[in-house]
Chains A and B, each alone.
Chain A
Amino acid sequence: MRKIRVLAAKPGLDGHDRGVKVIAAALRDAGMEVIYTGLRQTPEQIVATAIQEDVDVIALSILSGAHDYLFPEVMKMVKDKGLDDEVLVLGGGVIPESDVAAMKEAGVADIFGPGTPTAKIVEYIEANVKQRD
């Protein structure tokens, strides 16, 4: 079976990349292949990379509060490209509790806030990654 492939991405202008790098390292240690493309990715760039790298998971991280605009933008493009059946999209960062429902509504599978153990994210991905042919 091929390794689970994850795109770790920072949409928007936020420069806080401690969390995304820690997650990337943890997922890699858990045997996944992780692609991290650095800061300031537009939703278009993220979805294009996801297709090019044929990933199973997109893990988005925002701490600036712009998730309310950018997560749904990414999801819109994921759906436009017909990836929503294949790719699991997760979010993390400083996401207020009261925004979580709207993010899920937009199609983000789940939100992992500050203090989440990386093991919990690994487990979640392993349990929820979509079956592929």
Chain B
Amino acid sequence: MSDFEQQLMAWQTKVDKLLSKRPERKDQFATISGLPVDRLYLPQEPGEEYAGKLGLPGEYPYTRGVQPNMYRGRLWTMRQYAGFATAAESNQRYRYLLDQGTTGLSVAFDLPTQIGYDADHKLAQGEVGKVGVSISSLKDMEALFDQIPLDKVSTSMTINAPAAILLAMYIAVGAQQGVSPEQLRGTIQNDILKEYSSRGTYIFPPKPSMRVITNIFAYCAESVPQWNTISISGYHIREAGSTAVQEVAFTLANGMAYVKAAMDAGLDVDQFAPRLSFFFNAHSDFLEEVAKYRAARRLWARIMKERFGASNPKSLMVRFHTQTAGCSLTAQQPKNNIVRVAFQAMSAVLGGTQSLHTNSMDEALALPTQEAVTIALRTQQIIGYESGVTDTVDPLAGAYYIEHLTDEIEKRAEEYISKIDEMGGAVEAVEQGYVQREIQDAAYEYQKAIETGARVVVGVNKFATAKESPGDILRVDPKVRIEQMEALAALKAERDNAAVEKNLAALKQAAAGEDNLMPHFLSCVQSYATLGEICDTLRGVFGEYQAPTTI
């Protein structure tokens, strides 16, 4: 028996065992015309090249996916990013989404929250509740998850610079509901390196930021074991204008910097790496996108195994969330965006995503309306329940073009990673502005291609029509800030201010030393110290990041 035949037998045993515990969605899968559909299709004679480059799903190098039966077992998590105005209003939207069949929450925070300012800060003027929910203290977090049982949902929080503090608030809300940290499931984005290069919501300089991130890794490995401690994000790199190759390269390079920082801090790679997760963009070049996810999985598995010596299979896997490309949406003929989003979402599914957000058609105009959000969710449900692509694993494997693109993206991403290695790693590459310049150059090339007509955007530079009158858009009432300011004033009057001062002083001392800061964040938020107070304390110790000029 060949090596591969032995692997296949072992794989089959594993699948049988898995199915006895968790049966698939159906006993038998068939096409719409009744043709039977198998779990896995292989080349007629799988050779060494096949085994090395593609292998079996759920097995190294994970090109074909991270689970042996992928969506036959369970569909991806349909996770719609939402949040606006006050915690109470966002809570309403979450409960609506849960009622409509969404299976995980995804919290959008407003910019002051993301940058560690309370709603009453001067720089928060005009921003409170605009791009997400305003959270200034544990009080707001309690309202945000009111009547949502935290042991039943998984919650993704798009929060980076102050991620540790928001996680501490989530743990505290769980405690109030009687849910222990071990039961909490979810993700914090916590990916500061792409904030410096692409997204812009940084607070502190890289060194102390990396320290807080490793504090989170260590704390969660011990106390919040089901929590995804980071979502290493290519999404925003791509939104900022990168190519697919750059998205893979810069994301994995950032991932490598986190792994290295944690190992340098003395953590065991197989203890924290299983909780690393990723976040990619689904852009418009359908087959390139499918190949991109496959290439990222294969390349990361090899890096973790060969460079960092990880051996736990979970340390080697790219488990990822996908969001369709906001930057591909057009303000012109906005209903066309429904079609763009559907193709992009399909590419993420054919690429094996673990969770997915589909954008709403009106996002180039304003925050999405409820109707637009519902269509976006229905798009995922149609792919999941009607299209049939979920009935067999990695259905495009073996297509000449897909495998060529997968190889090519992997190779070119590796070349970028070597360049970044030569600079000393992702932190240095960002500090020097290299990553930013690569991305902005690609963005400008893309724009020029649209303007010369070399790249067609339907409804924009071809097939344009006279202006349609825009439909309904969602607005955030400016009085949200006033309400938040009043609530903050009331909070500061009623809380135990001596306890707040004591906890903030202890945090300050710990930040100047080397202790893990997570227990301090927890005691600060539980005494209702505000996000702004906690971040100001850290600003006093860590300083603030000054971005390099790249243009």
B200 touches A15 (CB 8 A): yes
Determine the distance from Cα of A73 to Cα of B329 in the docked complex, in whole angstroms.
29
A97 touches B470 (CB 8 A): yes
**A115 at interface by CB-CB < 8 Å:** yes
B443 touches A22 (CB 8 A): yes
Secondary structure at the A interface, as helix, strand, loop or mixed, is loop
Chain B: which residue is nearest A69 at the CB level?
A: B126
B551 touches A24 (CB 8 A): yes
**A117 at interface by CB-CB < 8 Å:** yes
**B478 at interface by CB-CB < 8 Å:** yes
**A102 at interface by CB-CB < 8 Å:** no
A33 CB, nearest partner CB in chain B, Å: 13
Interface hub of A12, A17, A42 (most chain B Cβ within 10 A): A17
- Given A42-B123, A68-B126, A115-B460, A98 and B473 touching (CB < 8 A)? yes
- Given A25-B440, A38-B549, A39-B547, A18 and B330 touching (CB < 8 A)? no
Chain B residues with Cβ below 8 Å from A119 are 451
Chain A residues with Cβ below 8 Å from B240 are 17-18
Number of interface residues of B (CB under 8 A): 44
- Given A18-B240, A115-B330, A119-B451, A65 and B443 touching (CB < 8 A)? no
**A66 at interface by CB-CB < 8 Å:** yes
Chain B: which residue is nearest A25 at the CB level?
A: B444
A64 touches B331 (CB 8 A): no
A118 touches B195 (CB 8 A): no
**B130 at interface by CB-CB < 8 Å:** yes
A116 CB, nearest partner CB in chain B, Å: 9
Determine the distance from Cα of A115 to Cα of B467 in the docked complex, in whole angstroms.
13
Chain B residues with Cβ below 8 Å from A16 are 200, 239
Chain B residues with Cβ below 8 Å from A64 are 111, 127, 130-131
Interface digits, A6-46 against B, CB 8 Å rule (1 contact, 0 not)?
Answer: 00000011111110011011100000001010111010000
A12 touches B111 (CB 8 A): yes
A13 touches B473 (CB 8 A): no
B94 CB, nearest partner CB in chain A, Å: 20
A6 CB, nearest partner CB in chain B, Å: 12
Q: Looking at chain A, what size class is its interface with the partner chain?
A: 35 or more
Interface digits, B115-133 against A, CB 8 Å rule (1 contact, 0 not)?
Answer: 1010000011111001100
A17 touches B470 (CB 8 A): no
Interface hub of B117, B125, B330 (most chain A Cβ within 10 A): B125
Chain A: which residue is nearest B467 at the CB level?
A: A97
Chain B residues with Cβ below 8 Å from A129 are none
Chain A residues with Cβ below 8 Å from B365 are 94, 96-97
Chain A residues with Cβ below 8 Å from B241 are 18, 22
Chain B residues with Cβ below 8 Å from A115 are 330-332, 364, 457, 460
Determine the distance from Cα of A114 to Cα of B126 in the docked complex, in whole angstroms.
21
Chain A: which residue is nearest B366 at the CB level?
A: A96
The listed residue (A26, A36, A38) touching B447 by CB distance below 8 A is A26
Chain B residues with Cβ below 8 Å from A96 are 365-366, 470, 473
Chain A residues with Cβ below 8 Å from B440 are 18, 21-22, 25
From residue 366 to 399 of chain B, which have CB atoms closer than 8 A to chain A?
Answer: 366-367
Chain A: which residue is nearest B113 at the CB level?
A: A13
A63 CB, nearest partner CB in chain B, Å: 9
The listed residue (B195, B443, B478) touching A21 by CB distance below 8 A is B443
Determine the distance from Cα of A29 to Cα of B254 in the docked complex, in whole angstroms.
32
- Given A68-B478, A94-B365, A96-B365, A22 and B447 touching (CB < 8 A)? yes
Chain B: which residue is nearest A113 at the CB level?
A: B331
Chain A residues with Cβ below 8 Å from B451 are 117-119
A114 touches B111 (CB 8 A): no
Chain A residues with Cβ below 8 Å from B551 are 21, 24-25, 34, 36
**A83 at interface by CB-CB < 8 Å:** no
From residue 449 to 465 of chain B, which have CB atoms closer than 8 A to chain A?
Answer: 450-451, 457, 460-461
14 contacts between A and B (CB under 8 A): A12-B123, A12-B127, A13-B111, A13-B115, A15-B201, A18-B240, A22-B241, A25-B440, A25-B551, A40-B123, A66-B126, A113-B331, A114-B331, A117-B450
Report A's interface with B, CB cutoff 8 A. 12-18, 21-22, 24-26, 34, 36, 38-40, 42, 64-66, 68-70, 73, 94, 96-98, 113-115, 117-119
